[in-house]
Amino acid sequence: MCSTVEPTQLPTPTCVRKSLRTVRTSVHKAQYETRRNDAVPDTLMSFRCGLKRKRVDQPQGILPVSGSAQAKPQQVERIKYASDCSGIEGAAMTLERLGIPYQTYWVSDIEQRCRKMIKTNYHEIPASKIFANVFRKPESVVCHVDVYTAGFPCQPFSNAGSKRGLRIDDDRSLVVFGVLATINQSRPKCFVLENVPKLMSQKHKALFNKVIQELKAIKTHRCGRSRSLYKLYVNTLNSAKHGSCQNRDRLYIVGVSVQATKPDAPEFCWPKEVAPTPLASILSESSVSGSPVLGSPEWMAGLPKDTTRLRNIAGGLARIISHHHGNPADEQWVCNAMNSPVFGIQVMLDKTPCLTKTRGYNGGFWLFAENRMTDIDELGLLQGFPRNRLRLAKGVGKAHLGGMYGNSFNVNTLMRIFCRLLPAVGLAYPVDPFGMESVDAAAAI
């Protein structure tokens, strides 16, 4: 034993490493418990206002060095991370924004442009670790990881999609089974799956129950007894109540490995809702003032030329004034300018409707007080991506990036989940920039 070393016997390197790891974990836990109830300063305005990032060209997963030039960065063990249906890596961006070092073991996405964006913006991910979809990964690549995420396709279940559910002739509805097989093979310490709340509706309830059943069927064996490897937590969170000014409801399925949890580890719990984020906080500096007077010739000249946008803007303007008795010239009213008549006109005050792939591709939303459509940086900020963080890859335009933002994890919401999930499995102890208050400990299903 390491604690009973004879006077003439030196401890083995393995004992030393175990001791250092134990001390480091204890320090991290103490820091986490000390800071979790403290007031957290607003650290988000720097990137919202477009200030320069301190590590623009720094590879992902590396913590910045503070202090003098001779100071050495703290040696922190990297989290083993992997994802499928990766998009533009909203989960990796979440770890980056939290300052958590990580190493990517694999990513996959069926969209070639998404894979190009990953290669361009996440340089530490080798091309050999980027795959075309969840079914095309070699078995040798899928190994044990710490954190796994997947936002499997929602089109078969969402209001804006086909709503046909599980069908053999729709490959998108089958991707979830590839995700489940990956979890069973890699057995991560924790995972987060995301989809639309409609997956829990009566129409798709059978598929949702099948997903939960398959996750519970992943077993661990100890002392001759078998039990489910994961505690599962299911909840629907709206990003407008978790740090974003976007009305985005999403279903989250969180899994916590019982093998990774320690008796003294904090129990996973869902974040408590916070005050809404003002829409003005993400608008470009050029749009703060100088908007033309509503109804003036300058205002008319700024309107879009296509009939779909004009129809929705006119209908939205009438609804704001007649139904909501609002003032579109002085208040931050937003309209979904590209909605088809099937879905009707959506207007919201001080937040946007849900950003989808189609809406992002077509420019997002109409800002009445600014008399313009949202720009690409504002669409990224709606999803929690810092301004100017992502560079366009070759063959990828701003419209394509807008669509990718619409398909991504909401980074702000995922940050709040990670700040409670990672401590539960002893991986890291980050502080939630939106506040560490949580609801009562979630009951596993």
**How do residues 179-220 score in pLDDT, each as one tens digit?**
999 999 999 999 999 999 988 888 888 889 999 999 999 999
Residue 156 tokens, joined: 């078969």
Which of 19-23, 292-296, 381-385 shows the lowest mean pLDDT across its residues? 19-23
- Taking residues 321-330, what's their average pLDDT? 91
Supply the pLDDT for residue 160: 54
- Taking residues 98-111, what's their average pLDDT? 95
251 vs 293: which has the higher pLDDT? 251
Highest mean pLDDT among 40-54, 87-101, 198-212, 296-310: 87-101
Supply the pLDDT for residue 62: 33
Residue 90 tokens, joined: 């909203």
Confidence of residue 17 (pLDDT cuts 50, 70, 90): low
- Flag whether pLDDT at 398 surpasses 60: yes
Look up tokens 């505690």; give the residue. Answer: 231
125 vs 420: which has the higher pLDDT? 420
- Flag whether pLDDT at 13 surpasses 50: no
- Flag whether pLDDT at 397 surpasses 90: yes
Query: Angle formed by the axes of helices 112-121 and 398-407, to 10°?
Result: 90
- Flag whether pLDDT at 19 surpasses 60: no
Per-residue pLDDT tens digits for 327-364: 998 899 999 998 877 678 899 999 999 999 999 999 99
pTM, to two decimals: 0.81
- Taking residues 11-20, what's their average pLDDT? 50
Alpha carbon distances (Å) from 110 to 32, 105, 264, 427: 38, 18, 41, 30
293 vs 437: which has the higher pLDDT? 437
Q: Give the length of the chain.
A: 445
DSSP per-residue letters across 300-366:
HHTS-SSHHHHHHHHHHHHHHHHTS---TTTS-EEE-TT--TTT---EEESSB----HHHHHTT--E
DSSP state of 27: H
Average pLDDT, the chain: 82
Look up tokens 């008319």; give the residue. Answer: 300
Number of H helices, E strands in the chain: 12, 13
- Beta bridge partners, 83, equal 149
Confidence of residue 50 (pLDDT cuts 50, 70, 90): very low
Confidence of residue 378 (pLDDT cuts 50, 70, 90): very high
> In a 3-state reduction of DSSP, which class is residue 77?
coil
- Flag whether pLDDT at 444 surpasses 70: yes
- Taking residues 57-67, what's their average pLDDT? 34
The CATH superfamily assigned to 45-64+75-276+409-424 is Vaccinia Virus protein VP39 (3.40.50.150)
Supply the pLDDT for residue 339: 80
- Beta bridge partners, 346, equal none
Supply the pLDDT for residue 202: 84
Confidence of residue 64 (pLDDT cuts 50, 70, 90): very low
Phi/psi at 47 (5° precision)? -80, -25
| 442/420 Cα distance (integer angstroms) | 11
Indicate where the chain has its CATH 3.40.50.150 domain(s): 45-64+75-276+409-424
Supply the pLDDT for residue 431: 94
Supply the pLDDT for residue 340: 75
